[in-house]
Structure 1
């Protein structure tokens, strides 16, 4: 395991409308060795207007947004990764949360220096961390049959892309998917890129949400050998 001095240092921006929460976040961020610098803004609006374009990770409490994350996040710097802090995962909000083009999700109930540090490191490594509760509810949603709306052109994925899509829904990283399918990480990266293009999605989270809404994951659970045989 690498020491704190060997970890990649990152810059962080965060918004919080509550003064006491800002003080709490400040003390929390100071305890995380991987963070090189951070800025805390008084609101999401102030953050959007002032955040530096080279900020590595932007942390946003979802309950403080005045608009849908799918509208807010695209206004942030393109090179920055976004971590959404969730205040629970109600069943009726699962699709809404999953549709957010964020790069990671973390429950405020699990928020501590160790958990946040691990989450930030996973995001920098290219993973999309999310709470177990959200993963569980996404998988439950994926198990329910869905029908494509009238007039919608079907989305065709190769058997291998379907396998990768199922593992994306499970929240696996490229490295984990490569290990599961005994493929190189380069191959998995190419397959994920193909999936995002076919689903017209900006990132993995949006692709998962669209796949669930379109019923693609439900159909993708059919073993690849059956698709090949047909």
Structure 2
């Protein structure tokens, strides 16, 4: 930790360790995002990736986190071995409509709202995604929980269709196992386990493991 003095009191500041890659075609949005990222204490470097098809996987690989605009997701979808991608955040404000409310089909680790983007929301998203949580903007979480309706309905077992693999991972998650332990039990990579956990959190409308377990108990999954 780096200790900074502020008003006579010592404050801990995280070391700059994260390498962030940005895949955003809009020059205005990309420049703004790059500026915000460069001001975050935890970010060591920002690399802008041109939205081209050739050489894309190799240019992403060294990053710890990839931020990709919803419009550019198609460059990755179906072309890249998603298990080899870094932790991935999708940036956009029409995500619910774009994927017809089923965001669980996306092999990503979290979401960012362009309208709500700030140093605070960006810093929070990076912190959460690096510890295995799935950052979701409050507005998007509300849409997912209500299914696009104005009033939330109580979750039921039938309303949360986990795959058999997700069910296996969820039981291990509920037992308190880490992503690494889940990967070992299921015979998959740690990154694969992380994406499974992320999909589970997304389907349950949960921002962390604790709330996922609570939702799972209420809905009869546990």
TM-score range, shorter chain: 0.5 to 0.7
What's 1:3 paired with? 12
Q: 1:38 to 1:223 in 2, by over 3 A?
A: closer
| 1:71 equivalent in alignment to 2:69 | no
What's 1:22 paired with? 30
Q: 1:194 to 1:115 in 2, by over 3 A?
A: same
What's 1:161 paired with? 171
Q: 1:34 to 1:118 in 2, by over 3 A?
A: same
Q: Contact (CA 8 Å) 1:143, 1:218: kept in 2 or not?
A: no
What's 2:120 paired with? 114
What's 1:62 paired with? 70
Secondary structure of the residue aligned to 2:40 is coil
Q: Shift of residue 47 of structure 1?
A: 7.2
What's 1:41 paired with? 49
Which one is further off, 76-85 or 41-50?
41-50
Secondary structure of the residue aligned to 2:53 is helix
Distance in 2, matches of 1:90 and 1:218, equals 23
| 1:143 equivalent in alignment to 2:155 | yes
Distance in 2, matches of 1:188 and 1:9, equals 21
Task: Pick the structure with more helix per residue.
Answer: 1
Q: Contact (CA 8 Å) 1:11, 1:35: kept in 2 or not?
A: yes
Structure 2 unpaired stretches of 5+: 2-10, 148-153, 206-214
Secondary structure of the residue aligned to 2:135 is coil
Q: Shift of residue 112 of structure 1?
A: 0.9
Q: Contact (CA 8 Å) 1:53, 1:80: kept in 2 or not?
A: yes
What's 2:212 paired with? none
Distance in 2, matches of 1:66 and 1:90, equals 16
Secondary structure of the residue aligned to 2:94 is coil
